[in-house]
A and B are shown apart, each in its own frame.
Chain A
Amino acid sequence: MRGEYPEEACGYLFGPRAISEGVARPIVEARPAENEETEGRDIRYRISSAEIYRIEAEAEDQPIGLVGFYHSHPDGPGRASRRDERLAWPWYTYLILSVDDGGVRDWGAYTLSVSRGSFVPIDCRVSPEGPVGPDPGRDRFEGPGR
């Protein structure tokens, strides 16, 4: 996360895929992805669809799989931007982290409401097993499944 600063960092969130409505969705792994944006990388990110396709296909019959995405807002707020919301897909958890050159300052997690077509904030906390550190990629984040 700090390595990419002042550009945006982004990546995948993995967790149990079969989570029922309203149940906390544990995130067991965060894996960095390449930011494919070529312009405005300090305020934009894009993850390769081919890579997402590959990861989804590999995890097809596995209990743990891709359940969401994270990205950073360098010197920006730890909440979703309108662009984040506009480009979001249902079901996934979106974790957004505010970072500066000192590390992660704040974060927020969201999921897209299909009925409202807008982001709904979800409770997000670091579980006791993982300490809060400057690199949340190594921590466990939890939020409701939907």
Chain B
Amino acid sequence: MTTSDPPAGVAIVEIPLSLRSLVGGAARLEVAGATVKEVIDRLVAERPELRRWLLTPGGQIRSSVHLFLNEEDIRNLSRESTPVRPGDVLAIVPAIAGGAPKRRISANRSRRARAAPRAGLTAEQLERYSRHLLLPEVGLDGQRRLLDARVLVIGTGGLGSPCATYLAAAGVGEIGLVDFDRVERSNLQRQLLFSTSDVGRPKVEAARDRLEGINPDVIIRTYAVRLTSKNARSILAPYDVVIDGTDNFATRYLVNDACVLWEKPNVYGSIYRFEGQVSLFDARRGPCYRCLYPEPPPPDAVPSCAEAGVLGVLPGIVGTLQAAEALKVILGRGRPLYGRLLLFDALALEFREFRLRKNPNCVLCGPRATQRRLIDYPAFCGETPTPRSDEPEAIDPVRLSAWLRSEDPPLLIDVREPTEWAINHLPGARLIPGSRIEERLQELAAHRSVVLYCKTGGRSREAAARLQRWGVRRVRHLKGGIDAWCREVDPAMPRY
């Protein structure tokens, strides 16, 4: 890679010592490009391991990277659009900076320091947090507490989006984001961390860009993984407070159990259509989620937002309440929701509150607790059931498509609601909402084969099982629902 006679159109990039181990020890690399930005873009395309050190997630050159073209700082030239000629030398130089934490811990302050009292916040921070500083309940000490706090937000969807936004704006020093999903267009109706241009990006990356833009004081750590019994401890360990913004029971029980076992406050929120719940669980001070719900509901009994729909503003309200509770826990102010469950009904616009008590028989936090470690949560929640004889048979979209075109097609039943049918439905299907399917038993039993479908497969499986119990044979359901059909058979079909 080292050369004194580079090919035409190729510049020499000098790699700083700091990054050489990432590129096999190379001190110089030849990279083509007409401008500084083009050279850097080409470099990270060829050497992706350099990307995170040189570019922001949005693809801009990091402010901590300084570039010198033929020994001249590019800030004195045309910055990143500075033209690069063949044989030019572009040196990457790390910007070295840092500083003390904002909180002064030394008890032995010097007289000189006392004579010139310092707020411990920079001028920029005094301005940014001035509305907090004005509140006697927050003030300088409170703001320093926030800047020193670490909060883990599990799920960056409907609840995590508003929650993380307010935590970052408030100056919570470090925010961890756990989510393995990518941004989908259907998220944009309520997940305000994301823009239309983020569709397809990993959620945690898009969220980090947005949150860093809101407040550069905040360190954002991202975990683009599914939280599991194996990784929960290492992910949760560094954080002071955990926000439960999950959308499934397996992860919700896992978050609860991990918070009980490792003594973290767990700010719980959940949403269903127009209704939300908020509470604060801390087994040291009150009940945990299992005291409230010892067992998960049967699988598919409680549909997810993707199945049941949700009013876009609802997670905004609930997630914001979670952020408020997290800030109160950090500040040690007010009356946090320990031992209280807040229910919110957006249609009636009603808040109701229930007192929760610690369950003396709780297997996790009761006096005779039997569970001392994390378990297999998908199995606990029945999401990976052992095959049962009454489990309705599933059919995948491609096979169904072929079957429908055959000479003996099945009767196709859409078990969704009429509002969903109006958006899209499979050709030749009949609409019978799941709640009314028993009224049409005779009609269904008369057919040789029946295939049910819904949006993602949960409701149709449940309806198919009910039909089987009523004695209807040869009932199948479409695996993955009409969503999977759109992906695998008919990408032109509108989705929601």
Contact = CB atoms under 8 A, between A and B. Distances in A.
Interface of A: 5-6, 8, 17, 37, 39-40, 42-47, 49-50, 52-53, 56-57, 60, 65-67, 69, 71, 73-77, 80-92, 94, 98, 100-102, 105, 114, 117
Contacts of A89: 16, 18-19, 53, 64, 94, 96
Nearest to A105: B106
Contacts of A69: 96
A100 B107 CA distance: 11
Given A45-B97, A87-B64, A89-B53, A56 B104 contact: no
Interface in B67-97: 68, 71, 73, 91, 93-97
A88 to B, nearest CB: 7
Interface in B88-125: 91, 93-102, 104-106, 108-113, 116, 118, 120, 122-124
A100 to B, nearest CB: 5
B483 interface: no
A92 B96 CA distance: 10
A91 B123 contact: no
A43 B123 contact: no
Interface residues of B, number: 45
Contacts of B99: 8, 37, 40, 43-45, 71, 73, 81, 83-84
A47 B221 CA distance: 26
Contact of A44 (B68, B113, B122): B122
Contacts of A92: 17-18, 94
Given A57-B91, A91-B21, 16 more contacts: A42-B100, A43-B99, A44-B100, A53-B66, A53-B71, A56-B17, A69-B96, A77-B100, A81-B98, A83-B99, A89-B94, A90-B21, A91-B17, A92-B17, A101-B110, A114-B21
A80 B91 CA distance: 28
Contact of A98 (B18, B106, B109, B122): B106
B257 interface: no
Contacts of A83: 97-99, 101
B282 interface: no
B94 A52 contact: yes
A43 B147 CA distance: 14
A89 B21 CA distance: 12
B101 A81 contact: yes
Contact of A39 (B17, B106, B122): B122
A98 to B, nearest CB: 7
Q: 7 smallest A-B Cβ distances: which pairs?
A: A84-B98, A49-B66, A76-B100, A73-B100, A101-B110, A44-B99, A81-B101
A44 B99 CA distance: 4
A6 B112 contact: yes
A91 B174 contact: no
Given A40-B123, A56-B93, A45 B98 contact: yes
Contacts of B112: 5-6, 101
A90 B122 contact: no
11 contacts: A8-B100, A45-B97, A45-B98, A49-B96, A52-B94, A75-B113, A76-B104, A82-B174, A100-B113, A101-B113, A105-B106
A6 to B, nearest CB: 6
A4 to B, nearest CB: 13
Given A69-B96, A81-B99, A90 B18 contact: yes
A100 B106 contact: yes
B51 to A, nearest CB: 12
A117 B96 CA distance: 16
A90 to B, nearest CB: 5
Contacts of A98: 106
A43 B173 CA distance: 16
A50 B71 CA distance: 9
B219 interface: yes
Most chain A CB atoms below 10 A, which of B17, B22, B52, B53: B17
Contacts of B110: 5-6, 75, 100-102
Nearest to B111: A101
Contact of B122 (A43, A77, A84): A43
Contacts of A82: 101, 173-174, 219
Given A6-B110, A101-B110, A49 B101 contact: no
Contacts of B52: 117
